[in-house]
Amino acid sequence: MNPHFLNVSSDPLHHALVALPHGPEFRFIDQLTALVGGKSGAATYRIRGDESFLAGHFPEHPMMPGVILIEAVAQLAGIVAQSDPDHAPLDDLRLTAVRQAKILGAACPGETLFINVTLTARMGHLVQAEGSIVSESNPEAPLLNTSIVLSGRPPETVSVD
């Protein structure tokens, strides 16, 4: 089984994950391990080694690009934001700002990454989050610490006349 596709019957958080607008080939979350809607979430992603971006980054010693680490945090932040019981999901939610990012290590094929996100603020269509990523090989040393902003549009409402 391709680890990019979840086993629906065994993953109670499957619905939140498949709500991501990304196709499976650009999804950097394999499994949600925790979700507190509107507040926080945790997930994993295993770097398989056959991802297309690894062929050129870097051929002799492939590693996951830092911008894709940030994207993984953004995807998890989107799941957390769209699962908020106090706010309707936003349309066209996307990463719109990286306020801060520190890439502190390399993520290589064969490693499992542990992604954690906490929403820190929400104002209208803007969602601010802080996230971090560690690897299973060194869970005490973060690979990434970042602060990001997502934005979307309020859901369209249909008026009944």
Active site residues: 57
Q: Which residue has the tokens 């870097």?
A: 58
- Tell me the longest C-alpha to C-alpha distance in the chain: 64
State which amino acid sits at residue 159: S
DSSP per-residue letters across 35-79: EETTTEEEEEEE--S--GGGGTS-TTS----HHHHHHHHHHHHHH
In this structure, are residues 135 and 105 in contact, taking their beta carbons and an 8 Å threshold? yes
